[in-house]
A and B are shown apart, each in its own frame.
Chain A
Amino acid sequence: MKDRVIGQSVPKYDAGPKASGLLQYADDFTLPGMLYGKVFRAKVQAAILLGVRTERAEQLPGVHAVITAKDVPNNNLRARFGQSTDVGGQFEGLYRVLAEKEVRYYGEPIALVAAESPDLAEQACQLIEVDLQPLPGVFDSVGAMEPGSRQVGEKPNNIASHFKIRQGDVDQGFAQADVIVEGTYRVPYQDHAYLEPESGLAWSDDDGTINIRVSSQVIEHFREVAEILNLPHSKVRYLGTWIGGGFGRKEDITVESYLALLAWKTRKPVKLTYTRAESLLYHCKRHPFQMEYKTGATKDGKLVALQARLISDCGAYSALSPWVLLYATVNAAGPYQIPNVKVDSYAVMTNTAITSAFRGFGAPQANFAYESQIQKLAHILGLDPLEFRERNYLQTGEAFATGWIYERPIPLTELAQKAWSGLGPLGSAEGGRKLGRGVAIGMGSYGRLTFLHDTSRSYIKLELDGSAIIRCGVPDVGGGQGHILCQIVAQELGVPLERIKLHITDSQLTPLAGTTTATRQLMMSGNATLKAANELKKRLLIKAGQLLNVPIENLIITLNRIEVESSRKEGVSLVEVINRLSGEGEELFVEAQFNAPFTDIPASEVLQGQTHPDFTFGAYAAEVEVDEQTGQVQINKIVAAFDVGKALNPAIVEGQIEGGCIQGVGYALFEDMAIHNGVIQTPSFAEYLIPTAVDVPDITVILLESGSGVGPYGAKGIGEPPMVGIAPALVNAIEDAVGVRIADLPVTPEKIRMAIAQKPEGKR
């Protein structure tokens, strides 16, 4: 097509309305007679729940409903997260709507209130009384694994999930090693810190169907909500909204089960929006991990063995912890060729805030550990860290630690070198501070686990005036998940972007497209849309071929026209072709389904073979300035280099990389979620500090387009992978500057100063 849309940085479908404030986010929706919901929560970490008394709250004028566990038709569900295949076993946990018989964490919801004003709802909560018998809390995930530790959840012990990798023989591997380094790494909780807290509005139709308009990454949760209410799946409908940031937190059910219950009980519209404090204190976080690593190499710089033990704290309910753990396990050895690998990983339950999905999904945690180990080995071997990596990168046709033989390009050498040289000439440090540089690489999967047998559907319809409608149940978290479908249709069918109307996230009226998680939407819904577009295109070309009397191979689609490629003046308008087809009774709509690569469900906890459709590879280089006295770090430059397969919209791709990078900067250096005995101590953004614009330098983004992705046009996924690699790159740079290596994130000035003071040749 002459006017190519694919590969162009055209403005996003939703950019204008977002910038001007016209776009409606979840909390902007209202309905006449709407009530306000509020969640009443436990103020204790662990207890036996003897009783809940709600009479006084119910009698308060203006209160329409108070709901506790006994009012919930189905209060205890198997947590399943939208997958349609039954994978059973250790992947499933308990999803409990409201606390029942026990309290497992501080802030666990006990009751729901709907009242005529937010103030009344708040007052009603204050009138609810609970009888509790406190229990000793279990707060330390490593200790919680010990036999005899008090059982936090429904499982026989506190280990919610356990995975293994067994490749070669690590004992033999370490015997061959000339150098072995060991290290224990700790990575912290992280809050998603999106602009839009959890929010939704639910109402009941005259036939009892429950409608929920909610900011969610997974509209397929209508199934769980229907089960909670004991309704047929067809009687619960999700209407998604444009999402003001998700980052994985809106992958689990947030407010929608509460909304559904309150709307079902009151038969009135109910709105529920969390305050920032509720969002920060009580909703899921990124998993903290403790990671014990042992890595061995020969003196000529070949990795021979890696052994790792990963322990994640999954909090009081398992939520997505088994899945996150699986990803961390698959990532544990990184994109390196290591003949002997042994990994044991555990998700452990404690009486702490629930941890679940967060951009990167276990990969950033493991990446920090394996890259730290690589850096330490390079030092000891006296090898340039880049060169040491180059000797060990996995090559096309070689197998990951899981044994999956990878047949696509792995351009890590090129990526890391580009990132490194992109830093340019060394700057000079201000005021006696020390300059340092570091580089690190990483990988991140895109697409859901292949044994989940993932699918997506998309629908396109051509109008008689040559405009088009797309319907696709794709939640848009701001990454252009919706917009890119328009670009695909514009490209393939010659319809101008501004004449395409997109409908997303209606669980009953838009074809189900699956979750906006796992960096899967471009690959899944992009491919489904491309498939539908190609089918329509075929119909258009056949008709145009007949009208122009040329074979269809000679035809191309341009803007609003179909032309003969060799003599472009010869052609026919799209409108004419469409009208002919319509007149002849041809269908001008197509719904298509894309199926991801499928594999079998793992037979045991030993992970073997392909687990993901593909990986995205990238590298970061950073230059920092460190003040040895105060431990303060200033980041001067960051260069990111990623193989994105194909950048369908470079501006969006760069935005994703910059955003992931900044979130990773926060993870590495800033975000310090204080938790004391299972209670989060950072109720606002005045205590939980994420980086501001002035804390982050300009980020140079280098895109490599290998065309080797599973997505449309060879694209790879880029939503989550940029979260991987930046933390070790920064830690390496800090070490280069001041000679101390911090193994616990975030690397605060306090830790740097302390480490410098403790250096043998320590400054002061």
Chain B
Amino acid sequence: MKDFQLFSPTELEEALDLLTRHCGQMRILAGGTDLLIRMRDGQVQPETVLDLTRISALHFLRQDSNAIEIGPLITHTEVLCSPLLNQETPLLVQACRTIGGWQIRNRGTIGGNLCNASPAGDAVPPLYVLAAECTLASRRGRRVLPIQAFFHGPGQTVLAPDELLVGIQFPSPQPTPLQFFEKIGQRKALAISKVNMAFLGWTDQEGRFQKVRIALGAVAPTVVRAVRTEDYLVGKRPTADVIQAASDMIETEVQPIGDIRSTEQYRREVSGELLRLGLAKCQKEEHG
């Protein structure tokens, strides 16, 4: 690893100053579980690194009237241990539980998972279906974007060189919806997703879907919503036939590629199966 200068401010304003001053030259460090790997193998060789970990203003997790707000420095382990998130958004907890191993979850942050912008990032699809918004800040001011507007493509976000992700917020899902996160990796731990899916659906008294949100990871350049399938499910009960038709439809909505982790065909076919698997688990929990 090349030598670099490390800045560890405690105030957000100071961090934004530093970013402005070193505009474009500086790399941002949260848990480092993505960044340090790329620095070690020489993919990035920054002159200066901005360490966010001492900025308490980026480390929060709260519920404000109906909104849940998560600071970018919240680690995956903190998500797992949060009573609030276990109560309100079990799918986000399920997703963070599948990330890496304990060591990675203890260091890796939600903000890092978003800013890294991997199409396979496991915390991202839950935030899509929760309709999360990202708050970005710089010396020039703040802006708030819906999560799908935050990503450009694999590894690319809309963050300007002088900007930080400072918060993620979403309405707490009311009333309690059906929800799940499912992931297929090559092994049970420490595996990047071949495909992942987050699902959020509200049903009426008769068990018919009123509103559905489905997001999939690792099957397109960014996480994608399966909007046609969502529309199809509205007004229907999740019978075996409906689920079959929905999962077939999902296969037509994704555009996966083949790479070292899996084939294009497998990703496509299995993305539909995740819906079946997830819903089966939800139903089992309800009845058993």
- Starting from the known contacts A749-B266, A750-B266, A754-B266, 6 additional A-B residue pairs (CB-CB under 8 Å) come to A431-B277, A431-B280, A670-B187, A687-B260, A692-B188, A749-B186
Is B186 in contact with A748, judged by CB distance below 8 angstroms?
Answer: yes
Whole-angstrom distance between the Cβ of A744 and the nearest chain B Cβ: 14
Residues of A within 8 A of B (CB): 277, 431-432, 627, 629-632, 670, 672, 674, 681-682, 686-687, 689, 691-695, 748-750, 753-754, 757
Beyond A630-B270, A682-B260, A692-B189, whether A749 also contacts B280 by CB under 8 A is: no
**Residue B270 contacts which of A277, A629, A672, A674 (CB distance < 8 angstroms)?**
A629
Q: Which of B187, B262, B265, B270 contacts A691 (CB 8 A)?
A: B187
A249, B261: Cα distance in complex, Å:
26
Question: Do residues B273 and A630 form an inter-chain contact, with CB atoms below 8 A?
Answer: yes
* Alpha-carbon distance between A670 and B269 when the two chains are bound, in angstroms: 20
Are A629 and B276 in touch, CB under 8 angstroms?
A: yes
Query: Given A431-B281, A753-B269, is A695 in contact with B276 using a C-beta cutoff of 8 Å?
Result: no
Whether the pair B273, A629 counts as a contact (CB closer than 8 A) is: yes
Interface residues on B, range: 20 to 34
State in angstroms the CA–CA spacing of A32 and B270 once bound together: 57
Closest chain A residue to B184, Cβ basis = A630
Q: Which one, B101, B260, B276, contacts A674 given CB within 8 A?
A: B260
Residue ID in chain A nearest B185 by CB atoms = A689
Task: Give, as a whole number of angstroms, the nearest-CB distance from B214 to chain A.
Answer: 17
Q: Which A residue's beta carbon lies closest to that of B269?
A: A753
Q: Mark each residue of chain B from 213 to 233: 1 if its CB lies under 8 Å from any CB of chain A, else 0.
A: 000000000000000000000
Does B188 lie within 8 Å of A629, measured CB to CB?
no
| Distance between A265 CB and nearest chain B CB, rounded to angstroms | 28
Identity of the chain A residue whose Cβ is nearest the Cβ of B280 in the assembled complex: A431
Write the chain B residue with the least CB distance to A666. B187
Please, which residues of chain A bring their CB within 8 A of the CB of B188?
692, 694-695
Q: List 7 A-B contacts (CB under 8 A).
A: A631-B270, A692-B187, A695-B188, A749-B270, A750-B262, A753-B266, A757-B269
Closest to B3 in A: A119
Interface residues in B94-131 (C-beta closer than 8 Å to A):
101
Measured between C-beta atoms, what is the minimum distance from B184 to chain A in Å? 6
CB distance from B231 to the nearest CB of A (A): 23
Distance A216 CA – B260 CA, assembled complex (angstroms): 32
A629 to B280, CA, bound (A): 13
Counting CB contacts under 8 A, is B63 at the interface?
A: no
| Smallest CB separation, B237 vs chain A (Å) | 19
Residues of A within 8 A of B184 (CB): 630, 632, 749
Q: Confirm or deny: B192 has a beta carbon within 8 angstroms of a beta carbon on chain A.
A: yes
Residues in chain B near residue A431, CB distance under 8 A = 277, 280-281, 284
B184, B270, B276: residue with the most chain A Cβ atoms closer than 10 Å: B270
> What 1/0 mask marks residues of chain B from 247 to 288 whose CB sits below 8 Å from any chain A CB?
000000000000011110110011001001100110010000
Contact of B41 with A by CB under 8 A: yes
Residues of B within 8 A of A686 (CB): 192
Q: How far is the CA of A632 from the CA of B280 in the complex (A)?
A: 16
B149 CB-CB contact with A under 8 Å: no
- Counting from the closest, the 7 A-B pairs by CB-CB distance are A629-B273, A750-B266, A694-B188, A692-B189, A695-B187, A689-B186, A694-B189
Most interface-central of B191, B263, B269, B276 (chain A CB within 10 A): B269
Check B260 against A629 for contact (C-beta < 8 Å).
no
Q: Is B160 an interface residue (CB 8 A)?
A: no
The CA of A275 and the CA of B192, in the complex, are separated in Å by: 22
Docked pose: A627 CA to B280 CA in angstroms: 13
Q: Is the CB of B41 within 8 A of A277?
A: yes
| Chain A min CB distance to B90 (Å) | 18
* B-side contacts of A753, CB under 8 Å: 266, 269-270
Is B190 part of the contact surface with A, judged by Cβ < 8 Å? yes
Chain A residues whose CB sits within 8 angstroms of the CB of B284 once the complex forms: 431
The distance from the CB of B187 to the nearest CB of chain A, in whole angstroms, is: 5
Q: Which residues of B are found within 8 Å of A750, using beta-carbon distances?
A: 262-263, 265-266
- The answer to whether A432 touches B260, judged by C-beta atoms less than 8 angstroms apart, is no
- How many whole Å from B227's CB to the nearest CB in chain A? 23
Complex interface bits, B161-191 against A, C-beta within 8 A gives 1, otherwise 0: 0000000000000000000000010111111
